[in-house]
Structure 1
């Protein structure tokens, strides 16, 4: 198949797992013999198959807004850029749509007019932003009227996806409960590259715990609770250190975390590793004793770092939400704390640390579940099937 991947961002422009997943999918589909091109935003990198002619309505890093004029102007530019792509490149048979948050739906209208079917991947609540007057926080009748009457091209009106693939039941529920006019589609967990994230031989947790947190430093990820956990362990005379891998969008938030560490008296025990290439993560997972996974984001699609950790044989103690809670509760592969607090995490770490058999059983089951339900190969095979079906339907007499 000749496949066009449409995405708001694409590596090296990375906010989180969505962009890395887009690249993973494009690379695996290419290795499977498909012709894959990517239409996205950002400065050109010289990679011929990645066309960076689209434009975001508002850059990430700036607060999101309901600025319809910005979206209208970006829509016009993206409409023209998509038409230019179709004029200068061979027509793709099908499009795979990743996140269009802050990009808009104009490219989809051009593809639909050109008779190119598209498959939507919904890994978070991004479709809500384009449902007449709605946002994740709801909307007003004025906003709904403006969207429906003045700028209907901003909404899903008139668009018809060949199929929709949701990352989790939680994401599907959030999107459909918000009134987004998308089909119920199918659910498929995203996957870990098991050729990169490989398991270490089992070893029990050390008496001096090496705790690890991986991911963007953001209030929704509750990194302050990891600091509180370290402080509680210190009060209980349990030796431990904590490493954060990731950066904050806002420097002020990262500064507040450092201040909290100083106030709690744990600053010498904390390492701020910053944002690291994914290739460096397996070694960190394999060296740590426990991954702390925290999330307050109710529309959390699924999360990825805990799956990477489990693939590397690292126990996970978690306070999950959204799709992450759904996955971890269904498969029983992590220790879940009853409340998101330092005391609760410290209690769970102490209980797990004193039970070697529980550690070994948790690690073994987690690895089995990742291989069976959350590997990259399974995710791409599911997408490939959806794309083939879309092509067949579009060419059927």
Structure 2
């Protein structure tokens, strides 16, 4: 089967798990004999690009501090090109579609590319697609400044129809609560781990120094402040023999000041960014993986990586990964408060919770049910199903580009009128 993967970024140029997951699937599908090409943006810095990776798209880097225009009009123009339509990218997409003639398109993250226009182009050309939703991307494509525009949401709901993969039911609810309906076939498939199991872990907490870690973006939206305050409460309750190591890029520098002001420098340590391969090894050196993330976390892969290596996750009670792991069986869950996380830490230290059976059951489930080898056949079946449902009645690439140019020019005119008013 000929498959075109569509992603805003592609490793080694990436932001997080979404782009890495796309690369996982692409590599696995190629290993299974499929002819797969990737259409993605020109990299933000020079990177290697094998022949099957086509870096032809233009990216509006919403995630960079300098990625958007500074004036009100320039910002809104860039936001529209990022989310609504980029005629340049529609032209690049139709060119690759004409060259490659894929049976199906595997869509991943497309914010930053004029993603609404790209999906409308696929619909107009009657190109079958499967959209891997690891975040609320339809919400992004129908919104400006994070506010959903009702007319765009209705247009999306009426015209964008195909095969969707959502990584949690919570994510689907969040998208649809905003007034966006996912029309067509929707299947809930979790994110996955890769690699090999290796030797089973043998050392588990039996008292003494409790080793806690977390990894990811160091910011309040990921709960770093909750974890720091939980450490203070644990110490103030008389438990002093513990450490919390925080891995990742610091997005809010005042969190370091928070550690200092609470006199936690001997307990809570910012470890910086660790390469992913080394992070996977580091999990085995810790007893608990703390994940006090926001409730709207679509999935959350790092707790799954941790438990696969015998490090028991304690996660927010309501987040995407919480749908897939069972409290007291594979993991521990807590309310997203310092008090709740500190209470669970104390119960482990006081030996009221035995981590060994949790770690063993969690690791077994991770390697059996959440490895890409178990997940890929489900994605592959959806790709085959989608490819078989093309109607064969489609517009032309030239018409798609002309419509994209008209939409882009109309959007610019409307923005000018809005700013002037």
Q: TM-score, normalised by structure 2?
A: 0.81
1:101 alignment partner in structure 2: 111
**Displacement after TM superposition at 1:195 (Å):** 1.3
CA distance in 1, matches of 2:328, 2:304: 12
Residue in 2 that maps onto 1:391: 387
Q: Does 2:377 match 1:381?
A: yes
Deviation string, structure 1 residues 8-33 (Cα, Å, up to 9, x no partner): 12112222211111111111111111
- Whether 2:168 is the aligned partner of 1:168: answer yes
Whether the 8 Å contact between 2:201 and 2:284 is mirrored in structure 1 is yes
In 1: Cα distance, 2:268 partner to 2:42 partner? 34
Which of 359, 376, 384 is the aligned partner of 1:363? 359
Name the counterpart of 1:256.
Answer: 254
2:229 corresponding residue in structure 1: 228
Q: How does 1:320-339 map to 2 (within 5 A)?
A: 320-329=317-326, 332-339=329-336
Q: Deviations over 1:81-131 (max 9, x none)?
A: 1123234x3221111001112322333333344442111111221111233
Q: CA deviation at 1:79?
A: 0.8
Shift of 1:72: 4.3
Change in Cα spacing, 1:332 to 1:200, as seen in structure 2 (3 Å) is closer
Q: Decide which of 77, 93, 108 is 2:88's aligned counterpart.
A: 77
CA distance in 2, matches of 1:317, 1:10: 30
SS at match of 1:129: helix
Flag structure 2 segments of 5+ consecutive residues without an equivalent: 394-421
- Decide whether aligned partners of structure 1 residues 337 and 275 sit closer, same or farther in structure 2, where only a CA change above 3 A counts: same
Aligned-residue offset at 1:5: 0.7
Matched, 1:52 2:55: yes
| Equivalent in 321, 342, 365 of residue 346 of structure 1 | 342
Q: 2:312 aligns with which of 306, 312, 315?
A: 315
The 2-side partners of 1:80 and 1:68 are apart by 19
Question: 235-244 or 120-129, which moves further after superposition?
Answer: 235-244
Residue 67 of structure 1 corresponds to: 76
SS in 1 for 2:277: helix
CA RMSD for the aligned pairs? 2.9
Q: Structure 1 pair 156/38, CA: closer, same or farther in 2 (3 Å)?
A: farther
The 2-side partners of 1:355 and 1:263 are apart by 30
Shift, 1:392, TM fit: 2.1
Secondary structure in 2 matching 1:67: helix
Maintained 8 Å contact 1:196/1:282: no
Give the Cα–Cα distance (whole angstroms) in 1 for the partners of residues 245 and 273 of structure 2. 12
Q: Distance in 2 between matches of 1:98 and 1:274?
A: 28
Aligned equivalents of 2:131, 2:349: Cα separation in 1: 43
- Measured in 2, the distance between the counterparts of 1:336 and 1:269 equals 22
Contact 2:165 2:188 in 1 (8 A): yes
